[in-house]
Structure 1
Amino acid sequence: MKVRADVAEMLRAGVPHSRIARELGVSQGTVRRTNHALGLPAPLRGGRPSRYPTLVAVFRGNSEETEDGHVRWTGYRDASSNTPLLFYAGEKTPAPKAAFQLHYGREPIGKPLPTCGMTGCIAGAHLADRPMREANARADAAYDAIFGALSTNDEPPQGT
């Protein structure tokens, strides 16, 4: 795609798409395609700049670490499902999904759930997606097959 220098300059300066289209006499589609071709983030509705420059900053600005290493969401929650959501680059993402991506560097497969026992914990290291949970279940079954299932009063075997 051939990029118009005047459109690119205004986009890099953070001018809202509608204003660029109006002032330069181009379509908003041209502005949007140029924005995409330059690799710039999608604008927020209303052309407001983000309070946070990165996804990490959004996550950290809307969560808090507890004294025992868990992370609690302090930001926006969906009114109907109570799902913690973060908003970045014009998109909304469930906070556990973002935490998983930031920690593991990949998209979760299925819903990431806490494995630490704290309801609602979103510490990346405390989250597991479906393949991780399935692998843990297989490992637990193998352990039980080798050593026998432990009751809640039993202690795990000690090394000799």
Structure 2
Amino acid sequence: MPGPAGVARADIIALLQEGRSDRHIAAALHTSNKRVRRIRGELELPEATRATTITLEQAWRARTRDTGDGHLTWTGAYREGFPTLKHNGINHTARRIAFTIAHGREPEGRVLAGCGHATCVHPRHVTDQPMREALNTQYQQIFGAAA
């Protein structure tokens, strides 16, 4: 529900969940510190400190939504058509984060949704270049080059 200045409560909550300070949120969203402090209290969230920070994975998870059919869609920002996340001043792509979550290593090459849903960022659904090459090789071994 929008507040007095038209700032959506959900926008304030999203920044609170990122660990941002009341002052930062008020300045970024052009709302009052008092309103941000009140919402923080209602949600029983601790005061933000410089040491308060959330992990990259937590920031990523806060911007995904379960579609109910096994996929995750990105609710965060897009840059040049790619789902992105800025964390601690560094830009990341959502699919690269998802890949690292699932495989415990950095991806090689482009990371794509391998499930057929272009907007999916589910960790188990993203593939990097070596994975796609291996799948193509297996496909050719099974069905031949003519397939």
TM-score, length-normalised on structure 1? 0.56
Q: Match for residue 74 of structure 1?
A: 75
Equivalents in 1 of 2:69, 2:53: separation in Å? 27
What are structure 1's unaligned runs of at least 5 residues? Answer: 1-47, 150-160
**Following superposition, which runs of at least 4 residues in structure 1 exceed 3 angstroms of deviation?**
48-52
Letter in 2 for 1:64: R
Q: Deviations over 1:82-118 (max 9, x none)?
A: 2211122221101111111111111110011111111
- Work out the number of aligned pairs and report it: 99
Equivalents in 2 of 1:82, 1:51: separation in Å? 31
| Larger-Rg structure | 1
Q: Match for residue 88 of structure 2?
A: 89
Equivalents in 1 of 2:50, 2:114: separation in Å? 36
SS at structure 2 position matched to 1:116? coil
Q: From the superposition, tell whether residues 133 and 72 of structure 1 become closer, same or farther in structure 2 (CA, over 3 Å).
A: same
Q: From the superposition, tell whether residues 94 and 49 of structure 1 become closer, same or farther in structure 2 (CA, over 3 Å).
A: farther
Cα RMSD after superposing both structures: 2.2
Is residue 65–residue 72 contact of structure 1 (8 Å, CA) maintained in 2?
Answer: yes
Q: Deviations over 1:26-70 (max 9, x none)?
A: xxxxxxxxxxxxxxxxxxxxxx85985111210111111111111
Q: From the superposition, tell whether residues 135 and 62 of structure 1 become closer, same or farther in structure 2 (CA, over 3 Å).
A: same
Q: Match for residue 59 of structure 2?
A: 58
Q: Please show how residues 36-47 of structure 1 align to structure 2 within 5 Å.
A: none
Equivalents in 2 of 1:111, 1:84: separation in Å? 13
Identity of matched residues, %: 34
TM-score, length-normalised on structure 2? 0.61
Q: Please show how residues 1-160 of structure 1 align to structure 2 within 5 Å.
A: 53-78=54-79, 81-145=80-144, 149=147
What are structure 2's unaligned runs of at least 5 residues? Answer: 1-48
Q: From the superposition, tell whether residues 63 and 49 of structure 1 become closer, same or farther in structure 2 (CA, over 3 Å).
A: farther
Q: From the superposition, tell whether residues 143 and 73 of structure 1 become closer, same or farther in structure 2 (CA, over 3 Å).
A: same
Structure 1 residue 121: Cα displacement = 0.8
